[in-house]
Amino acid sequence: MKNLIVKQFLFLICIAVIVTSCDDQILNKKPLDQISEGDLWNDPALVESYVNDIYQGVGHGFFAVNVSSGVDETIITHGWNDTPIKQSNMTPDELGLFGDGAVAPFDHFHWDDLYSNIRSINVFLENIEESPINQDLKDRLTGEVHFLRAYFYHNLVKLHGGVPIIKKTFNLDDDFLVERDSFEDCINFMVEDLDVAASMLPTVIEGDKAHASRGAALALKSRILTYAASDLYAENPSGNDYTGYTGGDQSQRWERAKAAAEAVMDLGYSLYRENPAPGDSTAQNYADLFLQKDHEEIIFARYFLQNQSYQWFEADMGLFHGPNGWHNWGGDTPTGQMVDAYEMSDGTEFSWQAYQNGDPSYGESPYENRDPRFYASIFYNGSQWRERPSDMTDLDPEGIVETASFEVEGQNELRPGLDTRDGPIEDWNGTYTGYYMRKFLDPNVNHQFFRQEVPWIFIRYAEILLNYAEASIELGDEGDARTALNTIRQRAGMPEITETGQDLLERYRNERRIELAFEDHRYFDVRRWMIAPDVYENGEGVNIIGRLNNDGSYTYEYNVVEIDQRQWNDNAYFVPIPRYEMDRNENLEQNPGYN
């Protein structure tokens, strides 16, 4: 009996040890859905994934092309709170499309999102030195985050002016009440980051322009210094150090900008199909620039997969912007002012008066004999696109855009065109301007059901040539400017620019407007050039009526109409700092003109 009791006691002890051991194993198990900080910095794949996640913050333009509605490029068919921007009445409580609550969220322009990404970069920089990962990988990723930090600060500065420069992460007991740094200090900080990035990154990454390269770092530096040298920051009407320079020499800034552009030009980039072959369609060359996944002009881009699930506001470019008569949404539609900015094919300015007076160079339509980039960028009445959806082919078997209304024999009422707001398909998505955006749209994709896979190009070589030309003009190096401009115009099939002085500056500004149309530049260009008071006029469109001829053909009547109210206030040179951020930090000073 005694032996039995002893055996039972030993058995219970064994069970207790086993159970305790099992409990220890359970308690010591790592959660499968979490990664510890120690694991992160010790694993090369996790470190690279961490940096790749930061790249999400750069956003993309397929939806954010909406910023063009805040200037004289487009009108958003659906509105979506763009009024505070186009009427220059933003407030710290209502930033319109730049606000956190906008229907079309611009994460890459939001104060808190940008600083959140900057914090992630600072976390990386505080931990990477002690990481045991391969030194080459460590150097490359470090270069990439320096590029990204400059990119995020550039988005803050071009909206708000000088902002707080945060170089470290904060602990709970740190002082969060930081002040704004000067505009000049912000520029210098971004340039320093980009110089570091350029020293650590490969010159070009063939087939992968979504990751920063030395070329991307130097190209972003060119953009930043071109912006910084501009009149807005030199004149600095408010006199505050966070809205511009309070001293120094503007010519020296243009010298830095020109040198920065030259540094990129020396890397060997070139324009896509820079030298058109005999018989080439220069319009198609320009259109294809945005439809190829990789080529020599792309410096920095974001890529998309057709089968990837995106949120609704990252919808396919064709679906969002294509004509409503193809079951698309007719999102951002070009203004009449933007359409009229495209020159005639001989390099002269387009003029409605000249067309109405029967100038023979115009032909039968105001859309004939225009800059080839016009045909690659704008859908107008009579332009041809892809085959219509199956429920529309009986009405239009050829895929011809119809934004006119047509007389019908024996009827007193006009037949609305298939792509108008009174047409038979999705009339709520029809254009107000009489135009649709064609640029970026892949005609080989049925956007109603499929997404296109073309990249969004953040920086391309044409911009660098334009930056170089602008700096050259400001410095009086007009020959250099014309050479750069005419390289771009040669690709477009347009005659050379020969002007000098103020005429050359005006030709440059229009060339930049056309070449970079809808690419997120015009909004900032009109501000830094201080021409916004002249261009913030009511948005125009065209009303077109097809008058029926005896032979069944149509003669078109064109009437320019105002369709959108716009105005300019000088406080709109800068976007206000959001109210919630001002409430958190009593040391922040608001931008001029905002309470």
Dump pLDDT digits (tens) for 100-140.
755 554 667 889 999 999 999 999 999 999 999 999 999 99
Q: Is 223 helix (H, G, I), strand (E, B) or coil?
A: helix
CB 92 within 8 A of CB 582: yes
What's the rounded Cα separation, in Å, for the pair 530 and 379?
30
What's the rounded Cα separation, in Å, for the pair 375 and 471?
30
When mean pLDDT is compared across 89-98, 447-456, 562-571, the lowest value belongs to: 447-456
- Band the pLDDT of 305: cuts 50, 70, 90: confident
Q: Is 151 helix (H, G, I), strand (E, B) or coil?
A: helix
Q: Check pLDDT > 50 for residue 14.
A: no
Rg (CA), the chain: 28
Provide mean pLDDT across the span 355-373.
94
The token pair that represents 209 in the structure block:
């322009």
pLDDT in tens, 205-244: 777 899 999 999 999 999 999 999 999 999 999 999 999 9
pLDDT at residue 396 in the model: 95
- Band the pLDDT of 97: cuts 50, 70, 90: confident
pLDDT at residue 13 in the model: 41
Q: Is 514 helix (H, G, I), strand (E, B) or coil?
A: helix
Q: Check pLDDT > 80 for residue 583.
A: yes
- Band the pLDDT of 38: cuts 50, 70, 90: low
Q: Check pLDDT > 50 for residue 10.
A: no
The 3-state secondary structure of 340-406, one letter per residue? HCCCECCCCCCCHHHHHCCCHHHCCCCCCCECHHHHHHEECCCCECCCCCCCCCCCCCCCECCCCEE
pLDDT at residue 107 in the model: 64
pLDDT at residue 39 in the model: 79
pLDDT at residue 172 in the model: 83
What's the rounded Cα separation, in Å, for the pair 240 and 424?
55
The token pair that represents 405 in the structure block:
């209304």
Q: In CATH, what is the architecture of 40-206+215-234?
A: Alpha Horseshoe (1.25)
With 0-12 CB in 10 A as exposed, 13-18 as middle and 19+ as buried, what is 311?
A: exposed
The token pair that represents 535 in the structure block:
């261009």
What's the rounded Cα separation, in Å, for the pair 439 and 518?
8
What's the rounded Cα separation, in Å, for the pair 463 and 521?
10
Percent of residues, the chain, with pLDDT higher than 70: 89
- Band the pLDDT of 371: cuts 50, 70, 90: very high
Chain mean pLDDT for the chain: 90
When mean pLDDT is compared across 27-41, 96-110, 177-191, 561-575, the lowest value belongs to: 27-41
Residue whose token pair is 């000098």: 500
pLDDT at residue 181 in the model: 98
What's the rounded Cα separation, in Å, for the pair 536 and 72?
7
Q: What are phi and psi of 119, to 5 degrees?
A: -60, -40
140 Ramachandran zone, left/alpha/beta (phi>0; psi -120 to 50): alpha
Q: How many helices (H) and strands (E) does the chain have?
A: 22, 10
Say which DSSP state 553 is in.
-
Q: Check pLDDT > 60 for residue 146.
A: yes
Q: Check pLDDT > 50 for residue 6.
A: no
With 0-12 CB in 10 A as exposed, 13-18 as middle and 19+ as buried, what is 66?
A: buried
Q: Smallest Cα–Cα separation from 148: which of 121, 181, 123, 187?
A: 121
Provide mean pLDDT across the span 165-187.
93
Q: What are phi and psi of 38, to 5 degrees?
A: -65, -40
Q: Check pLDDT > 80 for residue 313.
A: no
Q: Check pLDDT > 50 for residue 527.
A: yes
Residue whose token pair is 């408010």: 238
- Band the pLDDT of 365: cuts 50, 70, 90: very high
pLDDT at residue 460 in the model: 98
Q: Smallest Cα–Cα separation from 272: which of 252, 246, 250, 301?
A: 301
What's the rounded Cα separation, in Å, for the pair 576 and 331?
26
The total of other beta-carbon atoms located within 10 Å of residue 308's CB is: 10
pLDDT at residue 127 in the model: 96
When mean pLDDT is compared across 56-60, 384-388, 419-423, 472-476, the lowest value belongs to: 56-60
Residue 102, beta-bridge partner list: none
What's the rounded Cα separation, in Å, for the pair 233 and 246?
9
Write the DSSP string, 295-317. Answer: -TTEEEEE---TTS---GGG--H
The token pair that represents 256 in the structure block:
């830095």
The total of other beta-carbon atoms located within 10 Å of residue 278's CB is: 4
pLDDT at residue 30 in the model: 57
CB 75 within 8 A of CB 330: no
The pTM of the full predicted model, rounded to 2 decimals, is 0.92
Residues 6+ apart with CB under 8 A from 485: 465, 466, 469, 497, 507, 508, 511
The total of other beta-carbon atoms located within 10 Å of residue 348's CB is: 13
Residues 6+ apart with CB under 8 A from 39: 46
What's the rounded Cα separation, in Å, for the pair 465 and 481?
9
Residue whose token pair is 């005639």: 344
Q: Check pLDDT > 80 for residue 79.
A: no
When mean pLDDT is compared across 121-130, 274-283, 316-325, the lowest value belongs to: 316-325
pLDDT in tens, 404-418: 999 999 899 999 999
- Band the pLDDT of 1: cuts 50, 70, 90: very low
What's the rounded Cα separation, in Å, for the pair 331 and 76?
6
pLDDT at residue 549 in the model: 95
Q: Smallest Cα–Cα separation from 274: which of 480, 488, 119?
A: 488
Of 2-16, 46-60, 92-106, 483-497, the range with the highest mean pLDDT is: 483-497
Q: What are phi and psi of 394, to 5 degrees?
A: -65, -35
What's the rounded Cα separation, in Å, for the pair 97 and 78?
12
Domain ranges of the chain: 40-206+215-234
What's the rounded Cα separation, in Å, for the pair 381 and 376?
14
What's the rounded Cα separation, in Å, for the pair 186 and 180?
10
Q: In the chain, helix, strand, coil percent, each to 5?
A: 45, 10, 45
The token pair that represents 467 in the structure block:
């930056």
What's the rounded Cα separation, in Å, for the pair 285 and 373?
9
Q: How far is CA 108 from CA 58, 82, 290, 472, in A?
A: 6, 17, 21, 31
Q: Is 546 helix (H, G, I), strand (E, B) or coil?
A: strand
pLDDT at residue 35 in the model: 62
Residues 381, 382, 386, 388, Cα dihedral to 10°:
80
The token pair that represents 447 in the structure block:
């956007």
Q: Which amino acid is at 436?
A: Y
pLDDT at residue 20 in the model: 45
What's the rounded Cα separation, in Å, for the pair 64 and 448?
20
- Band the pLDDT of 575: cuts 50, 70, 90: very high
Residue 405, beta-bridge partner list: 416, 545
pLDDT at residue 31 in the model: 53
Provide mean pLDDT across the span 375-397.
94
Q: Check pLDDT > 90 for residue 318.
A: no
Residue whose token pair is 């970079």: 516
Q: Check pLDDT > 70 for residue 153.
A: yes
